[in-house]
């Protein structure tokens, strides 16, 4: 892999990561409702999911999902159902900032949430299975190249989500009234449900 190829890869990843999606929305919502510590826990879960999706792609799951309509549909429906459920839960959340550590859910629940949201889209597996090979040099050892691409993606994903979580958490002191939090939850809940619905419309060859 040449330096030019690697820089092109970084540019493509940057464009992908700055596009708003369920993971970014989740981190921002948790930052508003639960503060930066819980938001960063969900970031850790999301990053773990991304790394897992990459490994599954490398192990051939992408080829299985691309070849099997049944497998793809099953994973897609499960992911969409979770996003819709998360949307309803967020929409109905109380308009109260839960910043007291003793009153909050356990940290592992936020980690699990990040893990599930990050892994909810089966097209991510197909994306990595199709995306990575374009930047790999078949004449050179594949494992080191894959490790470099995967670690670079994970590092950039972590940086972007961290910036979103910590940036949004700065708004918390200004949300002294419950009304802004209520509307934030309703808007984010609606977007989660919408993303779940859109996920149901995706196709393997889309």
Query: Is 59 inside a domain boundary?
Result: yes
110 phi and psi, to 5 degrees?
-75, -35
Question: What local confidence, expressed as pLDDT, does residue 63 receive?
Answer: 62
- pLDDT classification of 48: cutoffs 50, 70, 90: very high
Mean pLDDT confidence for 121-127: 68
CA atoms within 13 A on the CB side of 10: 12
Q: Are 201 and 76 in contact (CB under 8 A)?
A: no
Please say if the pLDDT value at position 77 is more than 70: yes
Q: Which domain holds residue 183?
A: 23-200
141-186 pLDDT, tens per residue?
877 888 888 889 889 989 988 988 888 777 766 555 556 566 666 7
Looking up tokens 């820089």 gives 7
Query: Where are the alpha helices (H) located in the chain, listed in sequence order?
Result: 3-17, 22-34, 36-58, 61-67, 69-91, 107-118, 122-131, 142-169, 178-200
Quick check: is 49 in a domain?
A: yes
pLDDT of residue 65: 58
pLDDT of residue 206: 47
- What integer pLDDT is reported at residue 44 of this predicted model? 92
The angle subtended at Cα 197 by Cα 195 and Cα 202, nearest 5°, is 90
The pLDDT score that the predictor gives to residue 183 is: 66
pLDDT band at 2 (very low <50, low <70, confident <90, very high): confident
Q: Looking at the 3D structure of the chain, how many domains does it have?
A: 1
Domain membership of residue 18 (yes or no) is no
CA distance 128 to 49: 13
pLDDT digits (tens, 9 = 90+) for 52-76: 888 877 776 556 656 677 766 776 7
In angstroms, the Cα distances linking 177 to 34, 95, 104, 135, 183 are 15, 9, 19, 49, 11
In 59-141, which ranges are continuous DSSP H helix? 61-67, 69-91, 107-118, 122-131
pLDDT above 70 (res 205): no
The pLDDT tens digits of the residues spanning 98-121 come to 554 555 567 788 899 888 888 876
Confidence (pLDDT) at 173: 61
Looking at the domain assignment, is residue 83 inside a domain? yes
13 in a structural domain: no
Specify the 3-state DSSP secondary structure of 95. Answer: coil
15 within some domain: no
Alpha-carbon separation of residue 58 from 5, 118, 180, 201 (angstroms): 20, 17, 44, 26
Whether the pTM exceeds 0.95: the reply is no
137 vs 168: CA distance, rounded Å: 40
Mean per-residue pLDDT over the chain, rounded: 75
């Amino acid at each position: 892999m040449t330096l030019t190829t690697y820089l092109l890869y970084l540019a493509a990843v940057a464009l992908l990561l700055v596009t708003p999606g369920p993971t970014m929305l989740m981190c921002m919502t948790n930052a508003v409702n639960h503060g930066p510590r819980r938001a960063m826990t969900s970031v850790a879960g999301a990053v773990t999911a991304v790394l897992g999706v990459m490994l599954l792609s490398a192990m051939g799951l992408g080829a299985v999902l691309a070849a099997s309509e049944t497998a793809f549909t099953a994973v897609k429906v499960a992911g969409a159902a979770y996003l819709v459920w998360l949307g309803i839960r967020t929409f109905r959340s109380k308009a109260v900032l839960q910043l007291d550590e003793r009153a909050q859910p356990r940290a592992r629940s936020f980690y699990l949430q990040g893990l599930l949201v990050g892994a909810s889209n089966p097209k991510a597996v197909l994306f990595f299975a199709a995306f990575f090979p374009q930047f790999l040099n078949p004449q050179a050892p594949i494992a080191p190249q894959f490790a470099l691409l995967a670690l670079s993606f994970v590092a950039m994903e972590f940086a972007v989500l961290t910036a979103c979580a910590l940036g949004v958490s700065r708004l918390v002191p200004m949300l002294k009234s419950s009304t802004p939090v209520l509307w934030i939850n309703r808007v984010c809940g609606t977007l989660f449900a919408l993303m779940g619905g859109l996920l149901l419309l995706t196709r393997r060859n889309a």
